[in-house]
Structure 1
Amino acid sequence: MRRGLDHVVHLVRDIDAAGESYDLLGFTVGARNAHPWGTENRIVQLPGFFIELLQITDPSKISAAAPGHVSFGAFNAHFLATCGEGFSMLAFEGTDAAAEKGILDQAGFGGFETVDFSRKAHRPDGLDVEVSFSLAFANDPASPDFSAFICTQHHPENFWSADFQRHANMVSGLKGVVLVADTPVEHQRFLNTLCDVPVLRARDDWYVAQTPRGEIDVMSRPLFTERYGVAAPKGPGLRVAAVRFASSGAEELRRALAARRMVEETIAGMVVVPPRAVAGATLVFEQTESKSA
């Protein structure tokens, strides 16, 4: 089953400061939510996709990783210590965690127990509701600083909110994510298994997959820097380097961010916000025509 992008985890040291940065970029940022494993998040929603701002708040609750078991908290604690702030995890939309675990296991990229959890969420209308998820984790042995999973939401009607998807920066949706690797072709089968769509060669240092929700670009680190004007995340294997957004207000955003020194240049019709401005993450806004045009 073809799987679109579901969300990306943006790991930060100070979740409220990161929320303020996203607010300055014109995003609507949700309230804090607690996880049972010592982390808290804040959500930036788009239609069908979200950015999960994540902070480790109680290390004493983090369980150690073990064979066959992924520790969400331990992976992110290690990532923060070794890589610093930035995009640490990538999630794909799922419908049946047990079946998706079987697919990952058969392909040689799984071997982990599914993770099931729930938490309370505060809706814009003031109601507290329950949201719950099942996660089927994948492992690319060549990518120790990259974690991916397939995420099934059990009460999506409680999670998604049109009010949270209205943003002052006129972002209307996800364009895609950009991954970097020293040799993109080495990760082709892994990504193809995750999204179940062809990961095709654009050129030797650039592969592309068109998922049902968002594009995945996998490019070499030099090509990423050439294209976006910022340094790519370091490390072996895959890393999530950038998230791309569609916005009819990209040009206005560029002027506002330039005044705050949060952006340097517009590159080929894109507004690129560098990692120094947003807690280690690169955010790319691409101009689209407004619906009224």
Structure 2
Amino acid sequence: MTITAPRTPRPVDHLVLPTAGLDSARARLECLGFTVAPVGKHPFGTENVCVFLGDGSFLELLAVSQREMCEEEARNGNVFVARDQAYRFRNGDEGFSALVMGTHDATGDHEAFTKAGISAGNILDFFRPFTSPDGKEDIAGFRLAFAADLRAPDAFFFTCQRLNTPKVDRAALQTHKNGVFELREIVLSEVNPTDFQYLLQEVVNQRDVTAHSFGMDVRSATANVAVLTPQGLRSFFGIEASENERGLRLQAFVLAVRDIAAVETLLMTNNIPYEKRGSRLIVHKAPGQGAAIAFEAS
């Protein structure tokens, strides 16, 4: 008898949200009540601003800073840049392109993804300068292992291992006017969610899947990963998705807040349109915000 070893689900590390420009992204995020970190520059022609959450995850708003460098890096096999370029070509410069899981062994993940037939290309190691809010500088290092499915060209996944973590106090960056403290759920869409069950099981490193009439849930170590049918997406989030378009698409994410009434007041004060659905306030995507954001009381 073969005994299958139990799996330890990976935590969600961050979400990649392409944007046309960091200035508009920062302005939008600040209007939503987020504290936004200083600009970070990658050594392959992209740059970002991030929103760090109290649970250790973060939102990465990604822009192209040097297009020619990005194109050269993509030709040379940089999967991160190549997938970003492909996403922008198909969907424009605003969106939600990748779900990133945390890991302590990206090399092992790459081997596992290759064995499972879902590797999206070579491992990527890179280092970049990091500046804390008080001006302290350090070097941050990362190793990425990529996974994807050819049937879903508009979503990709990778694990992220930190090779060097700057020793800075992020408490100020994790404190937000809207009271957000945790990433609770990542929402994808697909006409037949279970067609991508195997891919997400491998990415999340979770065998257990909960299927329901509106889709399926795969639980990571820190947040739920939900794949909803167009009907489910419409019912729970008020987002329209075509019944005829196949392939996974990253659509929204749910954030936990301490005081939902305070969030509603902030949105009204800043003239941000929102929609109430059950216990959630949903802010649909807009320039600088490539995915719907649902605020949910803790």
TM more than 0.5: yes
CA 1:110–1:189 in structure 2 vs 1: closer, same or farther (change >3 Å)? same
Please tell me the residue identity of whatever aligns with 1:72.
Answer: F
How far has the Cα of 1:70 moved from its partner? 4.3
Matches within 5 A, 1:43-192: 43-46=50-53, 47-62=55-70, 63=72, 65=74, 69-84=77-92, 85-110=94-119, 112-158=121-167, 161-192=170-201
The Cα offsets for residues 78-116 of structure 1, whole Å up to 9 and x where unpaired, read as: 212321211111100011111111110111111621100
2:297 corresponds to which residue? 287
How far has the Cα of 1:57 moved from its partner? 1.4
How far has the Cα of 1:33 moved from its partner? 1.2
Question: How many Å separate the matches in 1 of 2:242 and 2:103?
Answer: 27
How far has the Cα of 1:199 moved from its partner? 4.6
Contact 2:16 2:97 survives alignment (8 Å): yes
Gaps of 5+ in 2: 1-7
1:227 aligns with 2:236: yes
Question: How many Å separate the matches in 2 of 1:26 and 1:268?
Answer: 21
The partner residue of 1:7 within 4, 10, 14 is: 14
Q: Percent identity?
A: 28
How far has the Cα of 1:257 moved from its partner? 1.4
Question: How many Å separate the matches in 2 of 1:170 and 1:34?
Answer: 28
CA 1:200–1:130 in structure 2 vs 1: closer, same or farther (change >3 Å)? same
CA 1:147–1:257 in structure 2 vs 1: closer, same or farther (change >3 Å)? same
1:26 aligns with 2:36: no
CA 1:146–1:241 in structure 2 vs 1: closer, same or farther (change >3 Å)? same
CA 1:15–1:236 in structure 2 vs 1: closer, same or farther (change >3 Å)? farther
2:3 corresponds to which residue? none
**TM-score, scaled to structure 2:** 0.90
The Cα offsets for residues 216-272 of structure 1, whole Å up to 9 and x where unpaired, read as: 111112211111113348953111111111001222212331344423321101010
Pairwise CA RMSD of aligned residues? 2.0
Question: How many Å separate the matches in 2 of 1:177 and 1:287?
Answer: 16
How far has the Cα of 1:209 moved from its partner? 1.6
Gaps of 5+ in 1: 289-293
Does the residue aligned with 2:173 lie in a helix, a strand or coil? Answer: helix
Question: How many Å separate the matches in 2 of 1:114 and 1:12?
Answer: 24
Count of residue pairs brought into register by the alignment: 287
Please tell me the residue identity of whatever aligns with 1:222.
Answer: Q
Does the residue aligned with 2:122 lie in a helix, a strand or coil? Answer: coil
Does the residue aligned with 1:245 lie in a helix, a strand or coil? Answer: strand
1:291 corresponds to which residue? none
How far has the Cα of 1:201 moved from its partner? 3.2
CA 1:6–1:275 in structure 2 vs 1: closer, same or farther (change >3 Å)? same
Question: How many Å separate the matches in 2 of 1:213 and 1:233?
Answer: 30
Does the residue aligned with 1:276 lie in a helix, a strand or coil? Answer: coil
**Bigger relative contact order (CA 8 A; separation at least 6):** 2
Does the residue aligned with 1:140 lie in a helix, a strand or coil? Answer: coil
Does the residue aligned with 1:285 lie in a helix, a strand or coil? Answer: strand
CA 1:178–1:94 in structure 2 vs 1: closer, same or farther (change >3 Å)? same
CA 1:31–1:157 in structure 2 vs 1: closer, same or farther (change >3 Å)? closer
**TM-score, scaled to structure 1:** 0.91
